[in-house]
Amino acid sequence: MAAKRGGKQRGSRGATSRAGNAGLIASFVIALAGAALGAVAAYLGEFGAMASAARPVETAPERPAIAVVADVARRDQIVRRVIERFPLERFAAPEIVIPEPAARPKVVIIVDDIGLDAEAAKTAFSLPGPVTYSILPYAPDIDSLAAKAAARGGDVMLHLPMEPHGDDDPGPNALRGEMAGGIFLHALNWNLSRFDNYVGVNNHMGSKLTADSAAMKTVLGVLKNRDLYFIDSVTSGETVAYRIGAQLGVDVLPRDVFLDPVAGDGAVVERQLRLMEHIAVETGYVVAIAHPRPETFAVLGPWLATAKARGFDLTTPSALLGRETPPLMAAAPELRF
């Protein structure tokens, strides 16, 4: 009996031992499974976080922080697309949502052909701004004009007469491609010496000369030595100004919009302002040129006065190019329409 009891006890202890081993194995397996599940969960959590990080957040698109786009060819494509799908409706200010602290679209307004009509110049100088004024070098009383333009707080430019295609006369001492080298340089230096303290140049006419690589190398080389920028009025689709400027290291900005390509038609100015707005919103900035005409001022003046409310920042070519620029002027209280 004792032996049997002992056998039973040993059997019981063996069973207990086997049960304990089985429990340990089960625990080990469970632990391994738990660790594996934990690793999978961690991986999935990390993968989910990565996927969330990779997934774009649906927010309003930011405007470019810097106005000038380095890839001008790409910007030109955007401008062409804007023009192709340009709607007829005016761009209403309350509908423009500019996310903060994103940069607002920047608008450069240049009024050129200043100098031959004193009353038109006076009205131009009363526009809210900053507005950039480009003065013809053969204007009478040019120093007084330049001082009044500078007092407005925007950039002052020289409106350099250049040879056009056709019979239009750009004025005395205009640069022409057939000029001998010395004569060309003499005419260029005469124009550039007519008044002081301007910071840039744009072409008056010049559809023929701006397509002449040799002539534009000379012009832009001289502007570089004088630390002047060049606004290409783009009076020709064959202009080489930007390409030559890039080669020489000269700041060149092409004109995007003529606000009054048809004289005497305020409706055209309205349409061109809408186009200007769209280009600014799509690309971050726009360079527009206007002329000193009553119908242009009648439409442009109120737009300038409400530009900020519409979601646009008025600026100068100097500011757009990162150069020093005079302090921005306040809206002119004496503005008349």
Higher pLDDT, 256 or 13: 256
Considering the domain boundaries, does residue 311 fall inside one? yes
Higher pLDDT, 47 or 185: 185
Q: Are residues 94 and 188 in the same domain?
A: yes
Q: Are residues 259 and 154 in the same domain?
A: yes
Q: Which residues of 87-98 are buried (b: 16+ CB within 10 A; e: fewer)?
A: eeeebeeeeeeb
Q: Range of 209's domain?
A: 72-320
Is the separation of the CB atoms in 251 and 229 below 8 Å? Answer: yes
Indicate the pLDDT class of residue 86, thresholds 50, 70 and 90: low
Q: Are residues 219 and 140 in the same domain?
A: yes
Q: Are residues 287 and 215 in the same domain?
A: yes
Q: Are residues 6 and 103 in the same domain?
A: no
Is the separation of the CB atoms in 230 and 201 below 8 Å? Answer: yes
Q: Are residues 144 and 35 in the same domain?
A: no
How many domains are there within the chain?
Answer: 2
Q: Are residues 99 and 3 in the same domain?
A: no
**What are the CB-based long-range contacts (under 8 Å, 24+) for 320-324?**
320/67, 320/68, 320/106, 320/108, 320/253, 320/285, 320/287, 321/68, 321/229, 321/251, 321/253, 322/68, 323/199, 323/229, 323/251
Indicate the pLDDT class of residue 74, thresholds 50, 70 and 90: confident
Considering the domain boundaries, does residue 330 fall inside one? no
Indicate the pLDDT class of residue 102, thresholds 50, 70 and 90: low
Higher pLDDT, 333 or 122: 122
Q: Are residues 29 and 93 in the same domain?
A: no
Considering the domain boundaries, does residue 108 fall inside one? yes
Residue 216: CA count within 13 A, CB half-sphere: 26
Taking the C-alpha atoms of residue 249 and residue 297, their distance in angstroms, rounded to an integer, is 35
Considering the domain boundaries, does residue 22 fall inside one? yes
At residue 56, the pLDDT reads: 40
Alpha helices in the chain, H assignment, sequence order: 2-54, 72-84, 118-124, 142-151, 181-192, 213-225, 241-248, 266-283, 294-305, 307-310, 317-320
Whole-angstrom Cα Rg for the chain:
35
Please state the rounded mean pLDDT for residues 63-68.
Answer: 45
Is the separation of the CB atoms in 151 and 121 below 8 Å? Answer: no
At residue 70, the pLDDT reads: 57
Considering the domain boundaries, does residue 328 fall inside one? no
Amino acid (one-letter) located at 16: T
Considering the domain boundaries, does residue 40 fall inside one? yes
At residue 78, the pLDDT reads: 87
CATH number for 230: 3.20.20.370
Q: Are residues 35 and 89 in the same domain?
A: no
With a cut of 80, say whether residue 273 has pLDDT above it: yes
Indicate the pLDDT class of residue 88, thresholds 50, 70 and 90: very low
Amino acid (one-letter) located at 118: A
Query: 194: which residues sit within 8 A by CB, 6+ positions away?
Result: 137, 138, 142, 158
Residue pLDDT, tens place only, 202-246: 999 999 999 999 999 999 999 999 999 999 999 999 999 999 999
Percent of the chain whose pLDDT exceeds 90: 65
At residue 87, the pLDDT reads: 52
Considering the domain boundaries, does residue 189 fall inside one? yes
Q: Are residues 145 and 263 in the same domain?
A: yes
Considering the domain boundaries, does residue 192 fall inside one? yes
At residue 75, the pLDDT reads: 86
Q: Are residues 16 and 79 in the same domain?
A: no
With a cut of 80, say whether residue 39 has pLDDT above it: no
Q: Are residues 10 and 141 in the same domain?
A: no
At residue 76, the pLDDT reads: 82
